[in-house]
Amino acid sequence: MEKYVIIGGNRLSGTVRMSGGKNSVLTILPACLLSKGACIIHDVPRLSDVYVMKDVLKCLGAKVEFTDNTMIVDASNITMVELPDRLTRMMRASNLVMGPILARFHHIIMAYPGGCSIGSRPMDQHLRGLKILGAEIVEKYGYIEAKTNGLVGNEICLDFPSVGATENLVMAATLANGITTIRNTAREPEIVDLQIFLNAMGAKVKGAGTDVIKIVGVKELGAAEHTIIPDRIEASTFMVIGAITQGNIFIKNVIAEHVETVISKLREAGIEIKEYDNGIRVKCNKRPRSVDFKTMPFSGFPTDVQAQVMGLMTVSEGTSIVTETIFENRYKHVDEFRRMGADIRVEGRVAIIKGVKSLSGAYVESSDLRAGAALVVAGLAAEGATVVDNINLIDRGYEGFEQKLRRIGADILRVDGGKERH
Ligand code: EPZ
C-alpha cells in the first residue's frame, strides 16, 4: 500500500491552486449520457474516482478522451444499459448514471453500490423519486433494475436534502414528459454547477441552490462545453492546513461563497482569513481557539470538512464539541488521532475534543478519503514523523496532493513499500 511519510513542524507558506471539484465532476460526467453529442468538460481533476467514472461511461458504450484536465464524452452511441458489480462497488457515485440512462434509454440494471466506511448509504430517496416519475423498479440479488415506457413529470418531495438523489432526479426529469417539481432538494454548489451544464445542453432546469427545483422536460439534449467549479472541500482542507501549521497560504481557484461557513468557523477559532478577487489568504501565528460545530446540509458546515477541522481542534486551546449529523459512522479518524496523542471522546454522533499542546508523529491509517486528508493535516503539525497508510483513498479526492503541499514547504514523501515516488 502506498504511504505518505511526513515530517511535521514546518510553517507552510506560498500559493496553491485548487483543482476542479470532485463532487461536481462526478455528477456532470453522468449528465453527459443525456446528450446525443460530444460534451467537452474542462478543469477535470485527475483523481481515481474520475478514472472510475470514465470506466463506467466507457462500459456503457460512451467514447471518452481524457487529456490533461479536459475530458470529452461522446454518448451518441450508448450500447449497454447494465453496470457490472465491480464498477458500482468501487464508487457510490456510479449510481448517478441511473437517472440519465433511464431517462434516455428507459432501462437500466446496476448492482447496488457498496456502502463504505462512513455509513450504509442507501439509495431509497433516489428510487422513490424515480418511481414517482414512472419507473418500475425491481431490487433483487443485489441488483436494481429500473424500466419505464418514458418518464413522466411529477411532484417529488425528498424526505431530506440528499445530494445524490437531487442530482439523479434532476437529470432524470430533464427528458421526462411534462413538468417536475422537486422539493426539499439539496442546495450544494455542485447542484448549481449541474444545472448550468444541463441548461447549456438544452435542458430547462431552474431553482438549483434553493430547496425547490423545477424541470420542464424536453425531447432531447445536445452537446455542451463546461468548466467544473473549484473544489470547495479541497480549498477548506488547505485553509485548515494553513491554520494548523501556523503558516501563510494563498489559495487560488476558490469561490469564497462556497466555503463561507468554513471561513466563519476558522475565524471564530482565531485564524486570520482574507478574501480577495483571485483567492483566499489564510494566516495563523498562534494556537487556535476551540470551537464547536455541527455538520449540516449546505450551506451549513460541510460533513466533508469535519475530520479536517477536528484535526485542528486536537491542538486547540480549550474543549470543542463536534456533532456529525449527516453520516452515521464518520468518526473512524478519531482512533488514529488518538495514536498521535489527541484527547477525544466519542458519544454516538458527538465527539468531545480536549486540545493538547501538540501532537506526536505516529503510524496511522486512512479509513476514508476525508479522514486520510485529516491525518495528513495532523501530521504536518505533529512533532516528528507521521506515516499515513492507505493513501489510495486520498487519491480519490485530492489531485497532486503531495506536490501541492511540497510547493508550500511541506516535508512529505509518497512511498510505495519503502521506495520513494515523486
Ligand atoms: C455526496 O454524497 C458527496 N459525494 C459526499 O462526499 C458528501 O459527503 C455527501 O454528498 C453529503 O454532503 C458526491 O457528491 C460524489 P447524500 P451522497 O445522498 O450524495 C443518506 C466526499 O468525501 N441517504 O446527501 O451519497 C446517506 O446514507 C464524499 O467527497 C439515504 O439514507 O450524500 C447519508 O447518511 C463523501 N438514502 C445522507 O443521507 C438515500 O437515498 C447524506 O447522503 C440517499 C442518501
Q: Best of 53, 130, 171, 304 to mutate for ligand 1, by most ligand atoms within 8 A of CB?
A: 304
Q: How many CB atoms lie within 10 A of CB 136?
A: 11
Query: Which of 32, 59, 116, 284 is flagged as catalytic?
Result: 116
Task: Answer positive or negative: Cα dihedral of 411, 416, 419, 422.
Answer: negative
- One domain, residues 293 and 318: yes
Check whether 310 has a pLDDT greater than 70.
Answer: yes
**What's the mean pLDDT in 384-393?**
97
Q: Whose CA is nearest to atom 22 of ligand 1?
A: 304
Check whether 183 has a pLDDT greater than 60.
Answer: yes
Q: What is the pTM of this model?
A: 0.97
Ligand 1 contacts CB of residue 303 (under 6 A): yes
375 in Cβ contact with 364 (< 8 Å)? yes
d(CA 242, CA 272): 10
What's the burial of 362, exposed, middle or buried (CB within 10 Å: 0-12/13-18/19+)?
Answer: buried
- Alpha helix locations (H) across 134-187? 163-173
**What's the mean pLDDT in 163-177?**
98
- One domain, residues 298 and 191: no
> Which pLDDT score is estimated for 119?
77
Last residue of a domain, one of 171, 201, 227: 227
Q: Whose CA is nearest to atom 18 of ligand 1?
A: 162
Q: Is 305 helix (H, G, I), strand (E, B) or coil?
A: helix
- One domain, residues 338 and 252: yes
- One domain, residues 123 and 209: yes
- One domain, residues 26 and 15: no
DSSP track, 134-193 = T-EEEEETTEEEEE-SS-B--EEE-SS--HHHHHHHHHHHTTSBSEEEEES----HHHHH
**What's the mean pLDDT in 25-35?**
98
Q: Whose CA is nearest to atom 10 of ligand 1?
A: 163
- One domain, residues 170 and 133: yes
Check whether 422 has a pLDDT greater than 70.
Answer: no
How many A from CA of 188 to the centre of ligand 1? 11
What's the burial of 249, exposed, middle or buried (CB within 10 Å: 0-12/13-18/19+)?
Answer: buried
122: which residues sit within 8 A by CB, 6+ positions away? none
d(CA 318, CA 356): 8
- Residue 137, amino acid: I
**Model confidence over 75-93: pLDDT tens digits?**
999 988 899 888 888 888 9
d(CA 396, CA 393): 5
Backbone angles phi, psi at 273, to 5 degrees: -130, 125
Residue 92 backbone zone (phi > 0: left; psi -120 to 50: alpha; other: beta): alpha
DSSP track, 23-69 = HHHHHHHHHGGGBSSEEEEES----HHHHHHHHHHHHTT-EEEEETT
- One domain, residues 351 and 367: yes
d(CA 264, CA 350): 21
Q: What cell numbers appear for 58 in the block? A: 466507457
Work out the angle between the directed axes of helices 22-31 and 189-200 (0-180°, nearest 10). Answer: 30
Which uninterrupted H or E stretch holds 124? helix 124-132
Nearest to 228 by CA among 394, 18, 410: 18
d(CA 108, CA 273): 47
**Model confidence over 240-290: pLDDT tens digits?**
999 999 999 999 999 999 999 999 999 999 999 999 999 999 999 999 999
Question: What total number of domains does the chain contain?
Answer: 2
Average pLDDT, the chain: 96
How many A from CA of 328 to the centre of ligand 1? 11
pLDDT band for 419, please (50, 70, 90 cuts): low
What SS3 string covers 35-46?
ECCEEEEECCCC
Ligand 1 contacts CB of residue 370 (under 6 A): yes
Which uninterrupted H or E stretch holds 125? helix 124-132
- One domain, residues 258 and 118: no
Ligand 1 contacts CB of residue 121 (under 6 A): yes
User: Which residues are registered as beta bridge partners of 67?
Assistant: 70
Q: What cell numbers appear for 192 in the block? A: 448549481
d(CA 46, CA 67): 10
- One domain, residues 248 and 168: no
Maximal CA-CA distance, the chain = 64
Cis-peptide into 19, omega within 30 deg: no
- Asked about 284 being catalytic, the answer comes back as no
Which uninterrupted H or E stretch holds 216? strand 212-216
> Which pLDDT score is estimated for 117?
75
| CATH number for position 14 | 3.65.10.10
Last residue of a domain, one of 205, 227, 249: 227
Which uninterrupted H or E stretch holds 17? strand 13-17
52 in Cβ contact with 92 (< 8 Å)? no
How many A from CA of 301 to the centre of ligand 1? 14
Give residue 375's domain range.
3-19+230-421
- One domain, residues 248 and 167: no
**Model confidence over 354-371: pLDDT tens digits?**
999 999 999 999 999 999
Last residue of a domain, one of 204, 227, 250: 227
287 in Cβ contact with 269 (< 8 Å)? no
**What's the mean pLDDT in 128-143?**
95
- One domain, residues 14 and 28: no
Check whether 116 has a pLDDT greater than 70.
Answer: no
Ligand 1 contacts CB of residue 115 (under 6 A): no
253 in Cβ contact with 17 (< 8 Å)? yes
- One domain, residues 177 and 199: yes
How many A from CA of 237 to the centre of ligand 1? 19
